[in-house]
Structure 1
Amino acid sequence: MNLTSSSSISSNNHCGTTTHSGPGLFEIQISDQSLQFTPKVIDDPVLTGSQILSIANARPASDFLLFQILRDGALEMVRPEQTVDLRNAGTEKFLVFRSDRSFRFFLDERAFDWGASYISGATIKRLAGMPSETTEVWLDAAGGHDRVIDDNEMVDLASPGTERFVTRTIQITIKVNSRDRVVDHRVLTYWEVVKLAYPEAVPSDQIIYSIDYASGPHQNPNGSLVDTQSVTVKEGMKFYVTPTDKS
């Protein structure tokens, strides 16, 4: 569907005040759908959408969509002939998409218009302004079959219906030496597991900790963990941590 209404992006990550890089100079920041911004310094305080696309090397302009990230975090489409005044605070960030249409989805009950037919789990987290390590993105699927969207998974926004995403803080209960422990991220390091069993543990020449695990996810259902290694965890996973005196 073709959409021209504005949508919301987390203002914590994307809004600010226009940067003056010198007398008569203005800095704008331009990104594609990855949300990795590149600064551009210009000397004209008023630009058209076509000029901004040209600065981004997005040619011809008819092949691209341009969105401006407003001071309040809203994302608003800028037409090629439309002008933007960089002297106003919070007008310096723009998104460029190679596309002729935008796609609407909902994230935490807020409507977003996106200029590409695919979006990754990691990008959804950035739009929500949520920390990647401790947050999960869930797709609210029909029939109650909600599922987690991995950071590198691409969701097709052009499929029938409107996608609805929800962000949730990770809370996974695992068992460490038969005791329940709740963790807020899906990848644990060796020392994080050790400290769940022995909170006062520190690297030592006298004591080494052996870690075995079971009931893990498909990529690591069971095995052992040594210093410098990490492991992906899931609900109900079991760890056995044993200290050994090396002396």
Structure 2
Amino acid sequence: MQHKFESGIEDVAAAVESGREVRGDGPYGILIGDEKLVYRAAVVHSAVVTGAQIVTAAGVADPVEYVAFLVLQGGQLESLRPDEHVDLRSAGAERFVVFRSDRTFRILVDDRTFDWGASRITGATIKRLAGVKAHAHDVWQVLPAGGDHVVGDDDFADLTAPGVERYMIKPILVRVIVNARPREVHKRLLSYWDVVKLAFPDAVPQPNTVYSITYARGPHQNPEGSMVDKQQVWVKDGMTFYVTVTDKS
């Protein structure tokens, strides 16, 4: 997401992206994210800032209960002590994340180590950390005893259990049944025409042709029902669809 700063404010992210040196005098525009990695613009007046100053720039009234992280070029987070200094003129020092927390948690995502400042993290946020396309990938929590399971985009994974939580990013693969035939899809949200083409691959919209769709065994968002044109449904393994075609001519 692009953020615009007023004239006269040095946009640190824009400087880093273009490969030019960050100028020597402020003020400086930086990006500060929350525990969902949603960023907003903030302005600081010194090129060298502390962790405490980053927390204050995030609009926090009581910085004692918060912790700041520097977002490195590879997406990893590096914690900043309140009195630790960061030079914004150094390449990559343009994004930060601030959490309300008194501790950090370590996770592994595809064997890459990330430190996190909250006791929970959503599947969508793990995807952002890993830098993958959310709509094309799933997050799987790897359990020591087996039984790995998907962490949905809006699901919260608990990081407070002993040990380091491990996750894997995999391309989405969902097995559904369409007109009693197994089909594989690579996204978790299907449109009306996605389903029609699973049953009738050559189908195209025609004024005198109507496709009727019913489904069952779906996820909690839509466990069963019917579909009409322009509708979408969430899918899961084992979901069943029945598609019929009617000629109105």
Q: Does the pair score TM above 0.5?
A: yes
Task: State the distance in 2 between where 1:126 and 1:171 align.
Answer: 20
Task: State the distance in 1 between where 2:219 and 2:63 align.
Answer: 46
Q: Which residue of 2 aligns with 1:107?
A: 109
Q: Which residue of 2 aligns with 1:33?
A: 35
Task: State the distance in 2 between where 1:219 and 1:40 align.
Answer: 37
Identity %: 48
Q: Which residue of 1 aligns with 2:16?
A: 17
Task: State the distance in 2 between where 1:231 and 1:219 align.
Answer: 8
Q: Secondary structure, in 3 states, of the residue corresponding to 2:79?
A: strand
Q: Secondary structure, in 3 states, of the residue corresponding to 1:210?
A: strand
Task: State the distance in 2 between where 1:215 and 1:117 align.
Answer: 33
Q: Which residue of 2 aligns with 1:125?
A: 127
| Aligned counterpart for 1:95 among listed residues 88, 94, 97 | 97
Residues 76, 129 of structure 2: 8 Å contact kept: no
Using the TM superposition, name which of 31-40 and 135-144 deviates more. Answer: 135-144
- TM superposition shift of 1:122: 1.4
Residues 15, 71 of structure 1: 8 Å contact kept: no
| Aligned counterpart for 1:194 among listed residues 168, 178, 196 | 196
| Aligned counterpart for 2:44 among listed residues 42, 47, 50 | 42
Residues 65, 100 of structure 1: 8 Å contact kept: yes
Q: Which residue of 1 aligns with 2:3?
A: none
Task: State the distance in 2 between where 1:74 and 1:219 align.
Answer: 33
Cα RMSD of the aligned pairs, angstroms, is: 2.6
- TM superposition shift of 1:142: 3.0
| Aligned counterpart for 2:182 among listed residues 155, 180, 183 | 180
What TM-score do you get using the length of structure 2 for normalisation? 0.83
Q: Secondary structure, in 3 states, of the residue corresponding to 1:62?
A: helix
Q: Which residue of 2 aligns with 1:62?
A: 64
Residues 213, 239 of structure 1: 8 Å contact kept: yes
Task: State the distance in 2 between where 1:52 and 1:115 align.
Answer: 15
Equivalent AA in structure 2 for residue 159 of structure 1: A
Alignment of 1:153-232 (within 5 A): 153-217=155-219, 220-232=222-234
The one of the two structures with greater contact order (alpha-carbon pairs below 8 A, sep at least 6) is: 1
The count of corresponding residues between Structure 1 and Structure 2 is 234
Task: State the distance in 1 between where 2:125 and 2:118 align.
Answer: 12
Equivalent AA in structure 1 for residue 52 of structure 2: S
Change (3 A) 1:76 1:241: same
Change (3 A) 1:140 1:204: same
Task: State the distance in 2 between where 1:202 and 1:27 align.
Answer: 50
Q: Secondary structure, in 3 states, of the residue corresponding to 1:34?
A: coil
Using the TM superposition, name which of 213-222 and 200-209 deviates more. Answer: 213-222
Unaligned residue ranges in structure 2 (runs of 5+): 1-12
What TM-score do you get using the length of structure 1 for normalisation? 0.84
Residues 32, 42 of structure 2: 8 Å contact kept: yes
Unaligned residue ranges in structure 1 (runs of 5+): 1-13
Q: Secondary structure, in 3 states, of the residue corresponding to 1:204?
A: coil
Change (3 A) 1:223 1:59: closer
Equivalent AA in structure 2 for residue 56 of structure 1: A
Equivalent AA in structure 2 for residue 210 of structure 1: S
